[in-house]
Amino acid sequence: MTIRTPERIVGEGAQVGRSMPRVDAGEKLRGEARYVGDMSVPGMLHGKVLRSPFPHARIISIDVSAALALPGVVAVLTGEDTLDIDPYWGHAIKDRPIVAIGEVRFVGEPVAAVAAEDEATAEAALAEIVVEYEELPVVGTLDDALAADAPLVHDGPIRPGLFHGLGTLPDRDGNICYRYGFERGSVDEVFEQAEIVVEGEYTFPGVYQYAMETHSVIAQWEGGEVTLWATCQHPFLVRAEIAALFDLPLGRVRIIVPYLGGGFGSKSYTKMEPITVALARKAGRPVRIVNRVDESMVTTRRHGAKTWMRTAADRSGRLLAREARVWFDTGAYADNGPRVTATGADSAPGPYRWSGVRVEASCVHTHTAPSGSYRAFGASHVQWAGELQVDEVARRAGIDPVEIRRLNLLTPGEQVRPGGKPLDADLIGDIRKVADALGWDEPREPGIGRGISVGLLAAGAHPVSSAIVRLEADGEAIVLVGSTEMGQGQRTAFAQIAAEVLAMPAERIRCQGTDTRFTPYDRSTGASRSTTLAGLAVQRAAAEVRADLMEIAGKVWPDAGDAVELRDGAAWWKGERRSYPELIARRFGLSGGQLIGEGGVHPEGTGSYAEGPVFWEVCIGAAEVHVDRETGVVSVRRTATVADVGTAINPLLVERQDEGATMQGIGNALLEEMVYREGMLLNDSLLDYRIPTIEDLPPEQVCVIVENADGPGPFGAKGCGEGAFAGIIAAIATAVADAGVRVDELPLTPERVWRSSQGQPKEDAKG
């Protein structure tokens, strides 16, 4: 496999002629990796969860007496043990019980939990719990859920969670828990007069965000305080959720996050923490729960979606109007469904100049596992459908796919959505770069298809981050920031940012993991926000320390004024040098003390969703595929992505992000699908659920890094890593269509491709 990399390692820094300190990707991780599933605390018990075997059933009775009689079993938790509090949680909608109360709504829902002295005893105790169920009607698919006579997954009023951030939630409408949409222009009139209209329905399956480390939590309830060691991406949001759930002050809930073995959104918001805390509270001792892979697959997944879309254009290829209706399968509980729905609706028009747009998106309950975040959510669900239609318009108009995009894409400063931030990227320049990197104009062999895709993702989430930089008396610095390291290399990037501002080697800067008792607040880790927002907080905190150093240096050399230079961990003037330890000793009068800087980021306006996003992440990809019509096998031969990052703090990490996104995009486009039948997940293991391996990667990958210093983050940076994911899924879909195969359902398995190429009905190709 050939991976092209830029010659340059570093981006433009704050000081003219100086580059960011060079740090290899991952250098800050050596010797520090620690995972919750491998940890132990004194007196810790092993927890196991009994899960529902039915997608929908009433719980008649639960008998735990035989389980409690086993030697070594300390506690068994059921729904009755949570009735002294309001036992429902959920950051968007408060709809999910800690343990099932009276009813189960999906296969895998926790019904009881056991805490025992060892794992084997806990497992044996589960087998001794007797649960009597009465099966109830199942809403297994979106079509089932939207039927006029569909059984309700939930009834009663919607209770807003702590962090949905989407304004007033609407009333429940059958199995629809949230709607989002917008309209501008005379849509119907444009379609009536359009010379070209492309219309279709598209299906995107539920997908598992497979991370190497499963969901793992250790909970300790002691003296009215809770300590959690948890695999969570958003520790401060989890802290708030646990505090509210168990009626505790925020300061009495402590979340410690070691390294995560991957997340991809699967560990966003709260997951296994409530049940672990409740079990520890009942047992009176610390409890650890570590999911198996099949248990994590029913803890969270990516939304399945169904999209109806139509696009209007004239004969010259000018795009005129788009209308889309999208339904997201959020499963039994809302999780992050409302946010996914809103983001998907925003992505549906694509970054094009329209005379009219109408989008309606719905978040729908079914009796399946709850759906949450997964890399580039929303954009990945709908971009491929929209880009297929743009390509079809190009075919009918006789225009090259690159050219039709050049004619219709928004340009910097144009409005993307009403009231939102204008476009902050050069999309036309980006698509030309990615097309050239793929070899768009090169001759093609039989069976070869080439595809290109472009989209936008509302990135950054809520812009609240804070950081502390502490320069110690020996000249080493510590960065405290609440963003979670899960393999993306952010601690390396934070060290580089602080090192650039402080003019010192990045190797002398340590970035600590999150501990909510000591680490300053950070809203979350996701939405490509860490380098942009937490990194900006680090830059501002380091700038305060830098100002202190300059102030002390001014007292050493009163006549120097602004001529003092900071470099290589020291202040310089006229050939004289004072190291940072010397300056700190000057401030405090001894070889002790420290300089501390604080930095923060907060919304400049009201912080509403409509005013955002922090930045528009570019979702651009290109792919070359070979389609074997005899077997239906699609082989990806080449890919190219654009990382439009403003300023690349660490280009090697940028490339690794896009390579990972490419690999996952190939999986989503060609391989991955959670197959349900009547609410039952049929492929809940990695033997049956296939993810891409090294053999599935193309022989050649290219990551084009674009730096225009136009981002809101440190040194003009903006985040990356999600856009390439949505871009590659759509690029593979358009490439297969370019090879002559009709595409309207993912993944593009050999059977589906073969049936489409042979004109066979697709109904038999499911799974």
- The secondary structure of 514-557 as a DSSP string is EETTTSPPB--S-TT-IIIIIHHHHHHHHHHHHHHHHHHHHHHS
Beta bridge partners of 573: 576
pLDDT of res. 611: 65
pLDDT of res. 681: 97
| Averaged pLDDT, 323-328 | 98
H/E element, 436: helix 427-438
Sign, CA torsion 735/738/743/748: negative
The two structure tokens encoding residue 96: 């999910």
pLDDT of res. 8: 30
The two structure tokens encoding residue 631: 């077997």
More confident residue, 400 or 24: 400
Please count the CA atoms within 13 angstroms of the CA of 542 that sit on its side-chain side. 28
Contact 343, 378 (CB under 8 A): yes
Please report, rounded to a whole number, the percentage of residues in the chain having pLDDT higher than 70: 94
pLDDT of res. 762: 62
pLDDT of res. 17: 28
- Per-residue model confidence as pLDDT tens digits over 698-756: 999 999 999 999 999 999 999 999 999 999 999 999 999 999 999 999 999 999 999 99
pLDDT of res. 686: 84
CA distances from 119 to 72, 125, 273, 655 (A): 10, 10, 19, 41
377 phi/psi in degrees, rounded to 5 = -60, 150
Does residue 27 have a pLDDT over 60? no
pLDDT of res. 763: 54
By 3-state DSSP, what share of the chain in percent is helix, strand and coil, each rounded to 5? Answer: 30, 30, 40
Does residue 566 have a pLDDT over 50? yes
| pTM metric for this prediction | 0.93
Nearest to 98 by CA among 76, 78, 68: 78
pLDDT of res. 15: 30
Residue the block writes with tokens 């509302």: 458
Does residue 272 have a pLDDT over 70? yes
Nearest to 465 by CA among 162, 241, 651, 714: 714
pLDDT of res. 208: 97
- Per-residue model confidence as pLDDT tens digits over 345-387: 999 999 999 999 999 999 999 999 999 999 999 999 999 999 9
Q: Return the CATH number of the domain spanning residue range 41-138+209-297.
A: 3.90.1170.50
Range with the lowest mean pLDDT among 384-393, 437-446, 610-619? Answer: 610-619
CATH class of 2-32+464-601: alpha beta
pLDDT of res. 605: 52
Burial class (CB in 10 A: 0-12, 13-18, 19+), 395: middle
Contact 259, 28 (CB under 8 A): no
| Residue 188: partners with Cβ closer than 8 Å, 6 or more residues away | none
- Per-residue model confidence as pLDDT tens digits over 481-538: 999 999 899 999 999 999 999 999 999 999 988 999 999 999 989 889 999 999 999 9
Residue the block writes with tokens 């004024």: 561
- Per-residue model confidence as pLDDT tens digits over 103-120: 999 999 999 999 999 999
Q: What single-letter DSSP state applies at residue 745?
A: B
Nearest to 665 by CA among 705, 631, 625: 625
Contact 389, 737 (CB under 8 A): no
Distance CA 33, CA 260 (A): 9
| Residue 605: partners with Cβ closer than 8 Å, 6 or more residues away | 611
pLDDT of res. 387: 98
Contact 754, 629 (CB under 8 A): yes
Domains of the chain by residue range: 2-32+464-601, 41-138+209-297, 378-460+608-765
pLDDT of res. 417: 83
| Residue 58: partners with Cβ closer than 8 Å, 6 or more residues away | 102, 103, 133, 134, 136
- Helix 337-347 vs helix 379-397: crossing angle, to nearest 10: 20
Distance CA 406, CA 404 (A): 5
731 phi/psi in degrees, rounded to 5 = -65, -40
Distance CA 340, CA 373 (A): 7
Catalytic residues: 722
Does residue 23 have a pLDDT over 70? no
| Averaged pLDDT, 134-143 | 98
Does residue 30 have a pLDDT over 80? no
| Averaged pLDDT, 629-658 | 96
Distance CA 508, CA 568 (A): 11
Nearest to 340 by CA among 309, 363, 324: 363
| Residue 446: partners with Cβ closer than 8 Å, 6 or more residues away | none
Distance CA 754, CA 672 (A): 17
The two structure tokens encoding residue 186: 């005379």
> Would the CATH topology of 2-32+464-601 be identical to that of 378-460+608-765?
yes
Does residue 684 have a pLDDT over 90? yes
Mean residue pLDDT across the chain: 92
Does residue 135 have a pLDDT over 60? yes
Distance CA 629, CA 451 (A): 18
Nearest to 73 by CA among 121, 18, 14, 23: 121
Distance CA 86, CA 109 (A): 18
| Averaged pLDDT, 270-286 | 98
189 phi/psi in degrees, rounded to 5 = -65, -40
pLDDT of res. 33: 55
Is the domain spanning 378-460+608-765 CATH 3.30.565.10? The answer is: no
Does residue 679 have a pLDDT over 50? yes
| Averaged pLDDT, 388-407 | 98
| Averaged pLDDT, 546-553 | 97
Residue the block writes with tokens 């940890």: 39
Helices then strands (H, E): number in the chain? 17, 34
First-to-last alpha carbon distance for the chain, in angstroms, is: 30
Beta bridge partners of 636: 625
SS3 666: helix
